[in-house]
Structure 1
Amino acid sequence: MGGEIDRPYSGAFVGKTHRFALRVYFEDTDTAGIVYYANYLRFMERARSDMLRAVGIDQRTALESGEGVYAVAEAHIKYRAPARLDDELVIVSRVLEVRAASCVIHQRVMRGDEILTDARVTAAFLTREGRPKRQPRGWVEIFERLKGD
């Protein structure tokens, strides 16, 4: 009945850069109407998951089949300016490095041309037991094609 309007939002690639837009809701903010610092990590997680989905990487199937799962192993983040209630933000993501069992993704949370946060996130591919595991070869090839820009 609802068709396209009932489908969740998906970001998109512009060249090798993935862009994921979102709006700041009341639940994202503290009592001063400023985005709580940990929520930037949630925003970036959504963008990374959307980026993987956009290139055909099915994390759910990999998890359910026991193939493996990505988990953040390291995150370096610089907070530059606060986002506020009702701001329209874009999370800009690009692959920096691809390793056997991990990849490094540069992410920025933007409000227009202003950088609000600048992060470098290492996502490790892990077994169900939490041990590092080589990423599927096809996924590594996808990440290699996305590097740079």
Structure 2
Amino acid sequence: MQRSDFRCFHRLRVRWAEVDMQKIVFNGHYLMYIDTAMSDYWRALALPYEASMHALGGEMYVKKATVEYHASARLDDTLDVGLRCARVGNSSCLFQAGIFTGDRLLVAGELVYVFADPATQTSRPVPPALRAIFDSFEAGAEMAEVRTGDWNALGRDAARLRTAVFVQEQGIPAEIEADAMDATARHAVVYNRLGMPVATGRLLQAAPGVGRIGRMAVDRSVRGSQWGRRLLDALVDAARARGDREVQLHAQRSAEGFYRRAGFAVSGEPWKEAGIDHIAMHRSLQG
């Protein structure tokens, strides 16, 4: 088992509470590390787990878990937990895990999941859509697509995501979140392979040659993966395609680092909007 066998990784740092009297990671924690990596695997598939299982008409249950120990992790070690779907049977899926420090394999694991009826916990065939998603991901395929269009085409899905993030999660009043500019904006929505929207944003024309990106919202269960960046890049590309020289946005301060990594720079002083700290940012599209 090698690092190159895996497309999905979760990185973590060993904490004091995870080390036993031998000053190495207690053996049971490795299963917890693998289970944590499983959450990142679903994010990499762009699948909000609960909503996706509901759409697929079942649930994934662990049937068997095995762990093979090769070497020990110690306090403050940085570990990379790789996870892959190695095989899909009729109703079961075999996942393989590798816990590495650098290129050194410390622990190998296997988990057998069974797709089952959540009410009776009796097995069901793995849905063809889920089987195809696993196979495509492990083959290196894209797990989501970005669609752009007007409010008539994308408004229903965009509004649902924005309501969940801004109104329900952040407590922004609904009458502030929605505005008349949606009707003239260029919207973008990221859809996963089940056709579910997982991220959205819009592009306005702030001035001739100047675009303004806003209403960036990502389903909380798939945040921390690549979907917000994919969405932002699509909006920047749309601004460039119509000839804009610059794009601007009003970022929540908690997301400032995300936009900096995408090439945006701060302009001006921070302020509060709807009780949330914001900062103006811009990015040149010339050169």
Preserved contact between residue 25 and residue 73 of structure 2 (Cα < 8 Å): yes
Structure having the higher helix fraction is 2
Kindly name which structure, 1 or 2, has the bigger radius of gyration based on alpha carbons: 2
Distance 1:58 1:111 in 2: 29
Structure of greater relative contact order (alpha carbons < 8 Å, 6+ residues apart): 1
Report the aligned-residue RMSD: 2.3
With over 3 angstroms needed to count, the CA separation of the structure-2 counterparts of 1:15 and 1:117, relative to structure 1, is closer
Q: List alignment gaps of at least 5 residues for structure 2.
A: 141-287
1:139 matched to which residue of 2?
130
Distance 1:99 1:116 in 2: 28
Percent identity over the alignment is 26
2:69 matched to which residue of 1?
79
1:95 matched to which residue of 2?
85
Displacement of 1:37 in angstroms is 0.7
Runs of 4+ in 1 over 6 A off after TM superposition: none
Aligned equivalent of 1:108, options 84, 98, 105: 98
Displacement of 1:107 in angstroms is 0.7
Q: List alignment gaps of at least 5 residues for structure 1.
A: 1-13
With over 3 angstroms needed to count, the CA separation of the structure-2 counterparts of 1:141 and 1:63, relative to structure 1, is closer
Displacement of 1:144 in angstroms is 1.5
Preserved contact between residue 7 and residue 138 of structure 2 (Cα < 8 Å): no
Distance 1:64 1:100 in 2: 19
Aligned residues: 136
TM-score by length of 1: 0.79
With over 3 angstroms needed to count, the CA separation of the structure-2 counterparts of 1:141 and 1:66, relative to structure 1, is closer
Describe the SS at the equivalent of 1:41: helix
Distance 2:74 2:10 in 1: 18
Describe the SS at the equivalent of 2:83: strand
Displacement of 1:27 in angstroms is 1.6
> What is the CA deviation profile of residues 48-96 of structure 1, one whole-angstrom value per residue up to 9, with x for unaligned ones?
1210122022321245679322121112221011111111000111221
With over 3 angstroms needed to count, the CA separation of the structure-2 counterparts of 1:74 and 1:130, relative to structure 1, is same
Describe the SS at the equivalent of 1:37: coil
